[in-house]
Structure 1
């Protein structure tokens, strides 16, 4: 276990820059997983982090101590910081005092969509993106494809909202979505408030790709035109539409329902 006590330490400065800059995270291909749940999920599903960072007082927390012990037993790298230095790095208010520095997983873009997938077209709110990833993982969906305008999936806010879903999904960012949809080998279903067919009239007992769009503007015209089919979720009351994350969850679990019948 290494201890850093100075704000002027070069390693600490790099860590703080990574914590506070989305551009730095993208450039470095690394991100921070803040909190016990994300750290434990990474250990269970992906293995050792590049580094475990812990606040000195948090070593007295049994959950944090258990995580640190697991990393130590596996000969992982641990960095201990005084409380003040740790809090300057952490993006979680009143956090427990442990985070992992990890390399952002990167896989080659598949030639075409062939398994259950999600396509996010300019979904900009990190909370919505994280919630969609969480629902997708729970519904057994395997792949997520994001446009350049979609919130960065490995940002702290998206990671917290997804609650570990990232670690069981293959996530592809900055994807040319029209080309991806055009080459798809499975049906592509786009949600639209103007569609004639409801979600419940569609056969979902097969792999499909779901397309969800911008919170205000919806799915782009280009993707609506390229989709195999557009569907609408019927709803009662006078609200205009569902939140995009709620819409995605309804779609995913209607597919789950149909495949369990």
Structure 2
């Protein structure tokens, strides 16, 4: 292990720059995974991190010790708790983070299985929650249109709870690029749609389009969808949070596919 004790250390300065700026993370292609759960999930699926940063205090915990034991010794850096606090975005964090390269899959030439398009979903918490639901529902591919929150930002990663490592997340994919590749019908939710989600045959693959929290689905995708579906809300609310709507759609599709098998 390498111990860093000074804020003037070059590696610490690089870590601090990454922690302070999503733009810097995006430009470098690197992400920060904070906490035991994300670290363990990354090791399970993707292998070794570039760097494992752990505090002296965290090393007293069994869970941290178990994770550190799985990381190559030359990749481990220890920090005093006070220095780690300037890297952390979590209140009362556990004192561990991984520096990793974000996972990038090539854009497929043809999309023939259920996928998700995030069409300008701006809230990082919503993006992470949708990714988590997608992974739980067995969806593999997620396409983020321009204007969607950066999928590998720290907040999205925390909300995703390890979903990133089970998905192919494609960023900055505009409608003109993706539409010709879709070999499946697209669907969107609309509170004024004529057909209820539960009355639509969802047993086959669907490209689910989830739009911006305020403006909704963009005109380009709205014109391209085969299904406009409403989620019945007997309680009388006008609309649902986009992450909640996505979860309902994905798991209604799972339910129908289970029945059809």
Q: How far, CA to CA, are the matches of 1:234 and 1:20 in structure 2? A: 42
CA RMSD, aligned part only? Answer: 1.1
Q: How far, CA to CA, are the matches of 2:11 and 2:95 in structure 1? A: 18
Contact 1:200 1:254 in 2 (8 A): yes
Q: How far, CA to CA, are the matches of 1:67 and 1:183 in structure 2? A: 40
- The residue that corresponds to 1:66 in the other structure is 66
Q: How far, CA to CA, are the matches of 1:38 and 1:148 in structure 2? A: 26
- The residue that corresponds to 1:124 in the other structure is 122
TM-score by length of 1: 0.96
Q: How far, CA to CA, are the matches of 1:237 and 1:218 in structure 2? A: 22
- The residue that corresponds to 1:34 in the other structure is 34
**Mapping 1:14-163, distance limit 5 Å:** 14-72=14-72, 75=73, 77-163=75-161
Give the C-alpha shift of residue 187 in structure 1.
1.0
Q: Which structure 1 residue ranges, 5 or more long, are not aligned?
A: none
- The residue that corresponds to 1:6 in the other structure is 6
- The residue that corresponds to 2:257 in the other structure is 259
Give the C-alpha shift of residue 182 in structure 1.
4.0
Q: Which structure 2 residue ranges, 5 or more long, are not aligned?
A: none
- The residue that corresponds to 2:219 in the other structure is 221
SS in 1 for 2:43: helix
Give the C-alpha shift of residue 106 in structure 1.
1.1
SS in 1 for 2:69: helix
SS in 2 for 1:238: coil
Equivalent pairs, count? 259
SS in 2 for 1:47: coil
Q: How far, CA to CA, are the matches of 1:226 and 1:151 in structure 2? A: 23
- Runs of 4+ in structure 1 displaced over 4 angstroms? none
TM-score by length of 2: 0.96
Q: How far, CA to CA, are the matches of 1:182 and 1:146 in structure 2? A: 16
Contact 2:2 2:74 in 1 (8 A): no
Give the C-alpha shift of residue 112 in structure 1.
2.9
**Mapping 1:196-235, distance limit 5 Å:** 196-235=194-233
